[in-house]
A = this chain, B = another copy of it.
Amino acid sequence: MTGEMTGVIREVVDAVKFDDAGLVPAVAQQHDSGEVLMVAWMNRKAIEETLRSGQVHYWSRSRRSLWRKGETSGQTQRLVELRIDCDGDTLLLLVEQTGAACHTGQRSCFYRAARDGGLVVVSDALADPEDLYGQ
């Protein structure tokens, strides 16, 4: 890691306002299509690992562990650009998403919309979750 990269990481981490649990929400967006893929949580280490490796890492609140997106499913996220909002309490990750971002096999986690008839599924799954996580 170059000294310049270390400086950027420090500047980003210093700009983030982590919540009481040491976390910040991160929105992952496909960099070219603009599709919002998912929202997950990052801690300081997840931000550092993401910027250092170029592969998006999150903090799993349920498993209480650092997690490289796609480490089990192969559905990785390559970081294209990290942005931070005006008050530093949310991140926006522009990414290159391989395959399905959602554990259901959907490209995006936001596949249900409120329409006249109620909540409806508005897209088709790309993959069978069994194929992504099974065995």
Contact = CB atoms under 8 A, between A and B. Distances in A.
Interface residues of A, number: 41
A112 B83 contact: yes
Contact of A11 (B12, B15, B38, B119): B119
Interface of A is mostly: mixed
Contact of A106 (B86, B87, B90, B115): B86
Interface of A: 4, 7-8, 11-12, 15, 25, 27, 29, 33-36, 38-39, 51, 81-87, 90, 92, 102-104, 106, 109-119, 122
11 contacts: A8-B117, A11-B118, A27-B27, A29-B36, A33-B34, A36-B36, A81-B114, A83-B114, A83-B122, A86-B103, A92-B110
